[in-house]
Amino acid sequence: MAIPSSAERAPRRLEVDLDGPGPGEELVAHLRPVLDDLTAPPHPSADADGWPAENGAGERADAAQLLPLLDAQLASRWLDVAARRMRAADEGFYTIGSAGHEANAAVALATRPTDPALLHYRSGGFYLARSRQAGRAPRTGILDVALGLAAARDEPIAGGRHKVFGHPDLAVIPQTSTIASHLPRALGVAWAIGRQQRLPARLRTPLRWPDDALVVASFGDASANHSTATGAVNAACWSARQGVAVPLLLVCEDNGLGISVPTPPGWIAAMFAGRSGLEYRRDEGRDPLATLATARAAADYAREHRMPVLLHLACVRIGGHAGSDLETAYRQPADIASELERDPLAATLRAVVAHGLLTPEQVRRRWALVRDEVVIAIREAIRHPRLGSAEEVMAPLAPRTPAAVAECAVRSAPEGERRRVHGAQLPEDEGRLTLAQSINRTLADVAAVEPGLLLLGEDVGRKGGVYGVTRGLQRRLGASRVVDTLLDEQTVLGLALGSGISGLLPVPEIQYLAYLHNAEDQLRGEAATLQFFSGGAYRNPLVVRVPGLAYQKGFGGHFHNDNGLAVLRDIPGLVVACPAHPRDAPAVLRTCLAAAAVDGSVCVVVEPIALYHERDLATAGDGGWTAPYAAPDHWSAQHVPVGAARTWGDGPDLTIVAFGNGLRMALRVGIRLRDEGIGVRVVDLRWLAPLPIDDVLREARATGRLLVVDETRATGGVSEGLVTGLLEAGFDGRLARIAGDDSFVPLGRAAALVLVSEQDVEDAARLLLS
């Protein structure tokens, strides 16, 4: 539905004036006496507050950095005030601010504007300092943030889709609101920096990081407890322990609170100090020169040693968690007041005078000048149009360019290179291959033509995957391209996200569908949203391989037979493929890899485990579940666009639509019915998102009878969407559906009691024909 553009809306109610009483005044009121007092500046003591001071005089940064620090901090604070006033006037939509956290501007000044940064939501100071550092006018960074608050379409990264800190020119990668979810990706970017160097120049993205870049990732003290954070830090230490380069500067901004829940005193230091593989530095956030020096020392360490460093930065939270948070409901007034005394902005105001950089009068003028800059930016921001249609909202979500994908999908390496990656024999000369073999050969072929392709996951390297799908690839492609990771699915996906955003083409394997759920947010919240929240400025091409679905013999139980796909199908923009037959798998996989490379698509390939090593279709020894591997000159003819089904047979009496294991059952039933003179055609969906509704509709109309075979569960299974889509598209023939029971899959033969069986398919088919 279209909403009125800003030009058509009622005149603005916001009288932008940041001075005087009103929302947000609580963020600056305590600073007015500080400004008035500046004639006799007290010099802050580094040691007086119980935080051990480790900031040696030798590490002190150049005092000249105090001015850019002050400007960034002032602008950030006034933007926080503005956010609350805009909200009150219904012209702004986000009031989580940075007040009390502005010491993070020192981290920006300690790093380079080309160092990738993934930031905590209280990073106004960092963002504005980096914007200036990159040579942009002060007003530009301020306007970026103001546009974000106003949800303006012209905001430079999310385009009004979210309030984030991000900018491709500043190497700031936008974060989501899910605390700590950016940390696995941050690790992945740090991990990818060294790998990027090995790419040929033509494959390097415009976002290619400098070879000596480090990655900055910040988060709050409560977020540090999140399993995603502990997993990412653990993985960074695990990697560093083995000598893997991880130039990662983790910044824990410790304000002692997670909304209303206090962090136990000393907890952050207890978690991170003295940890193997992690350099720990801390700063009390009281003396801006000390903060600059500590931040610089921490950044230099990460850059030089290519090791993870944790900078523990003491912060305070001023003005509650967000504008809507009534802090007095859970905190004592005295505690709130004592925070104000530790305001880092007050410390910087004093320091610039104490170090002779500005006179008190000049400081007061700067205070007013920056405030006025913010007012100008806000006035401008609220005049900008906002998103006005669903099409506009969704434009960057998952762009598709099928022709370019098709061209990319059929590229082949020269024969010499193919022989190197395949070993002695080219796959087209191997005879008929199983599903597992055909996936293996396809991965090698794409690796031969795409130097950025990386395979990673638990056991994919030396062992070649739990089902042997990646067997031999590490030996032939090298250990830097086929990587055994530690046992943590969030890290597997995080490494892939970080390397994808860095221009590589990651193909992570999640060992079983059931274990994707551990790490699902990395796909849902991080991978799939990146283009949406960055207007396509950042992308994470990704092809996740997931051995899954049920019907495994000899390895039973739910967790190795998970048949739930709803969790993937409802992620906007995600491509979900399910290649069941070796005749299709190479082309489907090549399309996914090409879609990732060309469009930055996020793809999940669900590989039916039970069919990996199957050889036969109707009778023992018939080889009906094997297929010859096509030589490169046939790839064009065999190309499979995203969302295109395949029809087996052209029987006139009944259409069965299925996928995965259901395809094999449907084909077997079709063969038996054909022997009785009943003509069946079987449609293999091949793609579970987007669903090939048009293809199925065409085939269903051809017979007037459609049996939907869904091996996933009746509730939330694939067929719910399929049947809805067909009815909406106007199918009015006879229709029946069979699906698995709404149960987890039990061990042993009992599995058959809740799964769709071949007999079920046959019975339903006969009923429909009767």
Ligand X SMILES: Cc1ncc(C[n+]2csc(CCOP(=O)(O)OP(=O)(O)O)c2C)c(N)n1
DSSP string of 714-737, one letter each residue: TTTSHHHHHHHHHHHTT--SEEEE
Show the CA angle centred on residue 320, arms to residues 318 and 325, nearest 5°. Answer: 160
Provide the CA 487 distance to its chain's centre, in angstroms: 19
> Does 103 engage in binding with ligand X (CB under 6 A)?
no
Residue 178 CB, nearest distance to ligand X (Å)? 5
Residue 256 CB, nearest distance to ligand X (Å)? 8
Length reported for the chain: 770
> Does 260 engage in binding with ligand X (CB under 6 A)?
no
Stretch that binds ligand X, among 34-42, 256-264, 538-546, 644-652 (CB under 6 A): 256-264
Q: Do residues 561 and 513 make contact, with C-beta atoms less than 8 angstroms apart?
A: no
Cross-strand pairs, 252 = 219, 312
> Does 229 engage in binding with ligand X (CB under 6 A)?
no
> Does 255 engage in binding with ligand X (CB under 6 A)?
yes
Stretch that binds ligand X, among 177-185, 565-573, 645-653, 679-687 (CB under 6 A): 177-185
Stretch that binds ligand X, among 215-223, 342-350, 542-550, 579-587 (CB under 6 A): 215-223
Closest chain position to ligand X (CB): 220
Tokens of 619: 């009778």
Residue 226 CB, nearest distance to ligand X (Å)? 6
Q: Is 634 exposed, middle or buried (0-12, 13-18, 19+ CB in 10 A)?
A: middle
Show the CA angle centred on residue 104, arms to residues 86 and 35, nearest 5°. Answer: 65
DSSP string of 85-138, one letter each residue: HHHHTTS-------TT-TTHHHHHHHS-TTS-EE--TT-HHHHHHHHHHTT--H
First to last CA, the chain: 45
Residue 146 CB, nearest distance to ligand X (Å)? 21
Residue 152 CB, nearest distance to ligand X (Å)? 23
Stretch that binds ligand X, among 172-180, 561-569, 597-605, 740-748 (CB under 6 A): 172-180
> Does 317 engage in binding with ligand X (CB under 6 A)?
yes
**Spatial distance between the Cα atoms of 752 and 754, rounded to a whole number of angstroms:** 6
SS3 per-residue string spanning 387-405: CCCHHHHHCCCCCCCHHHH
Stretch that binds ligand X, among 250-258, 405-413, 543-551, 711-719 (CB under 6 A): 250-258
Stretch that binds ligand X, among 252-260, 289-297, 564-572, 686-694 (CB under 6 A): 252-260
Closer to ligand X by CB, 258 or 746: give it: 258
> Does 184 engage in binding with ligand X (CB under 6 A)?
no
Among the listed residues 22, 258, 262, 733, the single contact to ligand X using CB under 6 A:
258
Among the listed residues 107, 143, 179, 421, the single contact to ligand X using CB under 6 A:
179
- What residues have CB less than 8 Å from 425, skipping those under 6 apart? none
Q: Which of 248, 237, 187 has its CA nearest to residue 522?
A: 187
Question: Which run of H or E residues covers position 669?
Answer: helix 660-675
Closer to ligand X by CB, 342 or 686: give it: 342
> Does 259 engage in binding with ligand X (CB under 6 A)?
yes
**Spatial distance between the Cα atoms of 747 and 461, rounded to a whole number of angstroms:** 29
Number of residues that bind ligand X (CB under 6 A): 15
Q: Which of 284, 273, 283, 299 has its CA nearest to residue 217?
A: 299
> Does 221 engage in binding with ligand X (CB under 6 A)?
yes
> Does 222 engage in binding with ligand X (CB under 6 A)?
yes
Tokens of 447: 């690796």
Is residue 676 classed as helix, strand or coil in its secondary structure? Answer: coil
Stretch that binds ligand X, among 209-217, 219-227, 243-251, 621-629 (CB under 6 A): 219-227
> Does 324 engage in binding with ligand X (CB under 6 A)?
no
> Does 257 engage in binding with ligand X (CB under 6 A)?
yes
> Does 178 engage in binding with ligand X (CB under 6 A)?
yes
**Spatial distance between the Cα atoms of 210 and 418, rounded to a whole number of angstroms:** 31
Residue 119 CB, nearest distance to ligand X (Å)? 11
Residue 259 CB, nearest distance to ligand X (Å)? 5
Closer to ligand X by CB, 91 or 253: give it: 253
Residue 523 CB, nearest distance to ligand X (Å)? 15
> Does 314 engage in binding with ligand X (CB under 6 A)?
no
Strands 261-262 and 215-220: unpaired
> Does 552 engage in binding with ligand X (CB under 6 A)?
no
> Does 646 engage in binding with ligand X (CB under 6 A)?
no
Q: Which of 99, 149, 108 has its CA nearest to residue 128?
A: 108
Stretch that binds ligand X, among 138-146, 163-171, 214-222, 293-301 (CB under 6 A): 214-222
Among the listed residues 87, 112, 122, 583, the single contact to ligand X using CB under 6 A:
122
Amino acid in the structure at residue 674: R
Residue 253 CB, nearest distance to ligand X (Å)? 6
Stretch that binds ligand X, among 135-143, 173-181, 577-585, 677-685 (CB under 6 A): 173-181
> Does 177 engage in binding with ligand X (CB under 6 A)?
yes
Torsion angle in degrees (nearest 10) through CA of 754, 689, 448, 483: -60
Among the listed residues 223, 434, 499, 626, the single contact to ligand X using CB under 6 A:
223
Residue 32 CB, nearest distance to ligand X (Å)? 25
Q: Do residues 514 and 550 make contact, with C-beta atoms less than 8 angstroms apart?
A: no
> Does 535 engage in binding with ligand X (CB under 6 A)?
no
> Does 76 engage in binding with ligand X (CB under 6 A)?
no
Cross-strand pairs, 314 = 254
Show the CA angle centred on residue 757, arms to residues 756 and 760, nearest 5°. Answer: 90
Binding interface with ligand X (CB under 6 A): 122, 177-179, 220-223, 253, 255, 257-259, 317, 321
